[in-house]
Amino acid sequence: MRLGVVGHVEWVDFVLARRLPRTGEIADAGAAWEAAAGGGAMAAYALKSLTGAAAFFCAVGDDARGAATAAGLRAAGLAVHATTRAGVPQRRTLTWLTADHERTITTLSPPLEPHGADLPDLSAFDGIALFGGDARAAQAARGAKVLVATARTRAALIVSGVRVDALIGSADDPTEPIDAELLAACRPRWVIDTEGAKGGRWRATEPASRLGASEEAPPPAASPVSGRWPAAALPGPAQDAFGCGDAFAVAVMAALADGCSIEQACGVGARVGAAVLCERAPAVGDLAGVWAARRAAP
């Protein structure tokens, strides 16, 4: 299969600490490091680890950090298609990783996302996960056989009006709501809401529960129209939640593109998210075993 990610990448300064500093406090970090990360990049890292290959379509800044970002992505084994924005610095964020396994992010510069003009014809791709971009980028991404998007791409989805196969939001994150306007614009085949440690829920918006079903065909007698998945068991000690949701979303895309049912796809996503939780960002670990077992029950 040919699978890819269209989205954003940031140069992230990570700070490891027991807790966030109090107002006016001078606090010592346990460790600090920097790397190319952000939602689109984390999804691409996870896709590469999961399936063995990943194309990543993004934009980078015209500075030393932009060059380091592109180099870091390539060093991770991604097939990088990065457009350099002339005269624009690389987007940066500061991310605190605290003992409660949470991540707290401060953006230090404006978003830097791919445009439709940056993208090639994506119709040869079996699946694309959309994590950022303008309306024309969303239209280009729709060329893939399967398109999964996160609710953070709301503006692009509403303006473009492209239909997505699965729309993923978070019941716990106010930046990822799924509302009536977004649903009407992108008409998703499936709506997926993640609920963190509680797992999550999905629902179909049309009878067929699998991709490729005929629009005219009656639904299978046992085809569910909604369901839940439980949180997957952690494969090790929890580290931090950075990238877990992004890894979940791209795993759902890959599984759907491979012909899995929505139940199976959410199960694959849950196991991938749990595995990433046990890695120190921006690492995602070895996810090949999850892919090998992808058709197992959630």
Task: Give the mean pLDDT of 102-110.
Answer: 93
For residues 79 and 81, give the distance between their C-alpha atoms in angstroms, rounded to a whole number: 7
Structural domains for the chain: 3-17+32-212+223-284 (3.40.1190.20)
8 A C-beta contact, residue 3 and residue 51: yes
176 pLDDT band (50/70/90 cuts)?
confident
What is the torsion angle, in degrees rounded to the nearest 10, for the CA atoms of residue 154, residue 160, residue 166 and residue 172?
0
For residues 195 and 270, give the distance between their C-alpha atoms in angstroms, rounded to a whole number: 11
209 pLDDT band (50/70/90 cuts)?
very low
Share of the chain above pLDDT 70, in %: 93
User: Which is more confidently placed, 209 or 295?
Assistant: 295
pLDDT at 297 over 90: no
- Each residue's pLDDT tens digit, 241-291: 999 999 999 999 999 999 999 999 999 999 999 999 999 999 999 999 999
For residues 237 and 241, give the distance between their C-alpha atoms in angstroms, rounded to a whole number: 12
Q: How confident is the model at residue 210, as a pLDDT?
A: 47
For residues 140 and 289, give the distance between their C-alpha atoms in angstroms, rounded to a whole number: 31
What ranges make up the beta strands (E) of 151-258?
166-170, 190-194, 200-204, 226-229
The one-letter amino acid at 52: G
- Each residue's pLDDT tens digit, 189-207: 999 999 988 999 999 997 6
End-to-end CA, the chain: 22
CB-count burial class (<10 Å; 0-12, 13-18, 19+) for 129: buried
Q: How confident is the model at residue 175, as a pLDDT?
A: 72
